[in-house]
Amino acid sequence: MNHWTWDSTWPAPAKLNLFLHVVGRRADGYHLLQTVFRFIDRADSLHFAPRADGGIVLATPTPGVPPDSDLTVRAARLLQQATDCPQGATIHLDKCLPMGGGLGGGSSDAATVLLALNHLWQTRLNRRELEKLGLALGADVPVFIHGRNTFAEGVGEAFTDVDLPPACYLVLHPAVNVPTAAIFGAAELKRDTPPIRLADWRHGQGGNDLEPVACARFPAVAEHLAWLRQFAPKALMTGSGACVFAGFPTRSKAEAVFSRLPAGMTGWIAAGLPEHPLAGL
């Protein structure tokens, strides 16, 4: 019996890119990527309340973001339109993940809205149909709907699931909001990394092709990464930044490094998840 109800707290977890390669570019300008997405237990939280008037209301708007352009509102309306659903919802979003951090927070929020309301409204789309809807909202939305740690290709929508070892991650958050479009649009971005086969990939292998651009344009990213690499040489930036991270086999090892964090730097420790908390929905 499924325990997810209108009274539930619905999680929207962060993701880390364990590597991120740009292997080409399509004629329409979209970049072709290879990456491994890993979910971690740092998350935004959402609550929903039913509305009989069919309205979609975000009770917790983000300052400076008009509700009509908020991804949570857009996701709910997209599901309504795709299924001719007359029901509405009031959405409460408790934001924990930073904007412009490369953790996929906005995409994860949108995915949780689609998963939750599809269940609560009983609109009965399957996961693949929800993934297609999510892709219209953003390239990272489908992986959160997919719900598994996965090797992703294409524009980030072709998935092959992977089993990843348990790990604890120290994540540092430079106090900058890195715009994804600016990083992908940079002339100096490396776009020709040779593709690798999943069978040839090993945990800990690969870099982030977006990292040099972000570090050059946002010195705080470079500063946090340099500090972390003193203790974890394989530390990486996630997504298009700004957050940087390092994986450790145990929580105590992550805490030992975290305890040395200089004043003025902020971060947290998060455990890697075997799958998205809503994977069984």
Active-site residues: which are they?
15, 140
Structural tokens at position 260? 């040395």
Q: Are 209 and 193 in contact (CB under 8 A)?
A: yes
Rounded Cα gap, residues 184 and 252, in angstroms: 36
DSSP per position, 86-123: --EEEEEEE--SPTTSSS-HHHHHHHHHHHHHHHHTT-
Q: Are 90 and 121 in contact (CB under 8 A)?
A: no
Query: One-letter amino acid identity for 241?
Result: G
Rounded Cα gap, residues 142 and 139, in angstroms: 7
Rounded Cα gap, residues 233 and 82, in angstroms: 47
Contacts with 132 (C-beta within 8 Å, 6 or more apart), sequence order: 142
